[in-house]
Amino acid sequence: MDFRNSSRNKRIEHWIIVILISSLCMGLNFFVSKLTWQIDLSKETKYSLSRESLALLNKLEEPVEIIVTIKEKNNLPKITHKFLQDLKLLLGALENAPTSKQIRITYLDVDSPRNLPDYLSAFQLNEPNLIVVASPKGGQKTLFRYKVESASNPYDSSTPFRSNDNAARQALWESNFYADWKESYNGVMEPTKFRGEENLVRSILEIAGQKNKRNTAYFTTGHGEKSPFDLDEENGLSALSGILQDRNIKVSTIDLSVSKSVPEDAIMLVIGGPRGTFQDQEVASIQSFLNNRGGKLILSIDPVEELSVLDRPAFGLRSILKEWGIRCHDMLIYDSSPENYDFFTGSYILRTFLQKNNHKIVEQHIRLGLSIQSDRCRPVETLETNVNNSTMCEILFSSQNALGLSGWTQRKSPPEKNELLDLEGNIPIISVSEKGSGKNNQTSQDTKVIVLGSSSILSNKYLTKSSGNQLLAKNIVYWINEIPEMLDIPPRELNTFSISMQEEEFQALLYSIAIIPGFIALSGIFVGWLRKEL
Amino acid sequence: MTQGYWVILRTEIFSLFISPATYVSTFYFLALLGVGFRFFIESFPATNWILPPLSSLALGLLFGAPALIPFLTMRTIAEERRLGTLETLMTAPVDAVSIIAGKWSASYFFYLLICCGAYSYPLLVCIIFPSQAESLGFLKPEHWIGGFVFLMSFGASFCAIGIFSSSITRNQMVAGMLSFSLITLYLAIMAFSYGEPTKIDEFRSYDDLFAMVGGSLHRGLDKIQFFALGVLHIPTILHQLIVVFFFLSLAKLQVEKIRH
């Protein structure tokens, strides 16, 4: 009986020790999983954060959440896999960085039925394939968005076909995470530099660094303008509104005839396709915003059809435009060349830029050969005289065959050129004007004005369909919102691996590889022989 | 204790070097890996492979481990139990820790030798085709170190699993099959959790708990992306050391059970 008890006790003791060892190991695993130590062996520790980033991240004023909703699956395009790998290394380094406030990385599966974790419930995160930087008080900013195209039939000409790889490349290219794209051996554009660190640190500072109170884009109302909240596929400006919100710029509307001045939190005014004229008091408010507060203005105006508004040129905004060295003729651009119109939609295609010294807004269009689509448009020229020391630049032009028709509502079709009043040749359609901060300004920011000769360029009609228009809108927002003193973080060179061996060389490699197992086999035979002999 | 450990280690290494089974398994393993490496080098630009080509060897050795490790470990304790020499050994002035650690170290040493054999393939490319080696990234020492440290850490834990399997049975075939199954299961769980986006700082389900206490079982394979580029992810190495400790402790318990 005693022996039986002893045996049973030993068995129990044995299992208790097993349970204790298991518990100890699980506990150790738990603590180790909290560690984030890494040793970077690469030359110049290129997978760790640069000194510049570390110094900047020490200025954080509140904790930061970085949320990645890209699910790593085997069927993702290769470029997306590569991006995820580069991103993981960077996010790991950011999470471990000795910052003044915590940076937390969350990989989220938005398709999962589980609720969001508590600390993310304040943010709107219901879309896959996003990278979002957010903080409780600073809002959220979308750094990367990649929409998976639903499968379409490549032989069906009525639906545009794009491969997932192509869509992913465009999303990455637009996100500015990669730079210096070069054609690879197989003719595909591949990036050679990773700018993720600069991109992420910049966004983190925007969200959780020193607060910039001016973070709202005000769209004017009261003159028949297009609305930022209008989802209409033709005339709405909701796509532009989405681009602004992705940059953590709030969107609101303002009726300047009611408000005495532009609100303090305004970073920019957007006047999208007005139909009525602005009154003197409204013009004065806009002038004050631009001249005294380093404001920004995006103005898109269409050719005027109604005779009632012709008495106040450019909808009453001529004085502002003149002050900033821009003239906006009340004309219509007429182009007789059918090749400048889209065959299916009839959209006017703009693809003429300056030969050199192009503005940064359209630099990528030139490099990639992208065009911009528009409906009817009007000329937007810069003046030769420099009114208030601003720098003006015309950035997009009509084709050489275009005419700028004055009094176009009265003209016959096809119109005959009026030598005295009409414009001809490459007529500018988008112009910009900017001025560095002067002593009179209350802020240190530059004043920037961009005028587009058609409100359709930034409307949903083209922003949702044309890559050129999307890029233009994004670049306008980047240009308007750029902070010149940022950041001196060097991009990281990407590793590229390739091979170019002939068949004979592969054969030679195979034979040389055979040396190792051959040696093992001979050693085994020798050892076998020794065992037999000795 | 240290002396006992060295005696056991020497004996085990000697027995591995004179065992035909190890030569046969090493020959087949390295031959298959070499052929795979040659064809991988030819075809990787056309695939979705984004890691340095050198890491293909690390992955080949990792996923080949279920076929290799059992040959190195299955006979270590099971054979001694079958022949009854373990009881004799226990009467000598060596404790169970020295026996287990010595046998594990010998298997691990042989495993590392095989890894070195596998890594001599890219070394041959560096010698015979230096320009190709440069374009393939074979001249970056951090890729070599990272990949080898990854293999060392996982190899250590797989050898420990093999030693444990060998300690719980008298039949070396059963021990081999058990270690094959356990290592395959380990790799399968890691492969299934590959890329799972569940890095969450709070417990909301049993999955999260498993992610926290499971160590490298959860997303351990993801870390090849760090090691392959020369970034040593210390928690992964520590997780593997915990696995080594766990299985060697269980093996020690088994051996002590025999002593009593």
Reported as a single tens digit per residue, the pLDDT across A243-284 is: 888 777 888 999 988 887 888 889 899 999 998 888 888 999
Answer yes or no: is A492 within a domain.
no
Residue A442 pLDDT: 46
If asked whether residues A287 and A178 sit together in one domain, one would say no
Number of domains in chain A: 4
Which residues constitute the domain of residue A521? 503-533
Look over chain A and give the mean of its residue pLDDT values, rounded to a whole number: 84
Nearest CA among A43, A509, A493, A79 for reference residue B132: A509
Adjacent-strand bridge partners of A220: A254
Answer yes or no: is A76 within a domain.
yes
Please judge whether A499 and B26 are an interchain contact, meaning their C-beta atoms are less than 8 angstroms apart. no
Answer yes or no: is A488 within a domain.
no
Q: What is the mean pLDDT of residues A498-525?
A: 89
If asked whether residues A27 and A75 sit together in one domain, one would say no
Which residues constitute the domain of residue B69? 2-259
pLDDT tens digits along A361-414: 888 888 878 899 999 999 999 987 766 778 889 999 999 888 888 877 777 777
What is the pTM assigned to this prediction? 0.72
Question: Closest approach of chain B CAs to the CA of A22, in angstroms?
Answer: 7
If asked whether residues A265 and A362 sit together in one domain, one would say yes
SS3 content of chain A, % helix, strand, coil (to 5): 35, 20, 45
Q: Residue A428 is encoded by which pair of tokens?
A: 């500018």
Pair A135, A202: CB distance under 8 Å: no
Q: CB-CB: which of A38, A78, A517 is closest to B27?
A: A517
Nearest CA among A460, A502, A432 for reference residue A239: A460
If asked whether residues A264 and A397 sit together in one domain, one would say yes
Helix (H) or strand (E) holding A194: strand A189-194
Query: Is the pLDDT at A440 greater than 50, yes or no?
Result: no
If asked whether residues A159 and A235 sit together in one domain, one would say no
For residue A81, what is the nearest residue in chain B, using CA coordinates? B50
If asked whether residues A64 and A124 sit together in one domain, one would say yes
If asked whether residues A334 and A426 sit together in one domain, one would say yes
Number of domains in chain B: 1
Going by pLDDT thresholds of 50, 70 and 90, the confidence category of residue A157 is low
Strand runs (DSSP E) across chain B, as ranges? 231-233
Task: List the pLDDT tens digit at each of the 260 positions of chain B.
Answer: 678 889 999 999 998 898 888 899 899 999 999 999 999 998 888 888 888 999 999 999 999 999 999 999 998 899 888 888 888 888 888 888 999 999 999 999 999 999 999 999 999 999 999 998 998 989 999 999 999 999 999 999 999 999 999 999 999 899 999 999 999 999 999 888 776 655 545 556 666 777 778 777 777 888 888 899 999 999 999 999 999 999 999 999 988 887 66
If asked whether residues A425 and A314 sit together in one domain, one would say yes
Answer yes or no: is A164 within a domain.
yes
Please judge whether A513 and B41 are an interchain contact, meaning their C-beta atoms are less than 8 angstroms apart. no
If asked whether residues A95 and A192 sit together in one domain, one would say yes
Answer yes or no: is A490 within a domain.
no
Please judge whether A106 and B125 are an interchain contact, meaning their C-beta atoms are less than 8 angstroms apart. no
CB contacts of A188 in chain B (<8 Å) are: none
Please judge whether A37 and B235 are an interchain contact, meaning their C-beta atoms are less than 8 angstroms apart. yes
Answer yes or no: is A4 within a domain.
yes
Pair A230, A237: CB distance under 8 Å: yes
Please judge whether B38 and A509 are an interchain contact, meaning their C-beta atoms are less than 8 angstroms apart. yes
Burial of A290 (0-12, 13-18, 19+ CB in 10 A): buried
- Which is more confident, A306 or A372? A372
If asked whether residues A529 and A445 sit together in one domain, one would say no
How far apart, in Å, are the Cα atoms of A412 and each of A138, A424, B193? 56, 17, 70
Answer yes or no: is A134 within a domain.
yes
CB contacts of B37 in chain A (<8 Å) are: 513
If asked whether residues A124 and A179 sit together in one domain, one would say yes
If asked whether residues A266 and A342 sit together in one domain, one would say yes
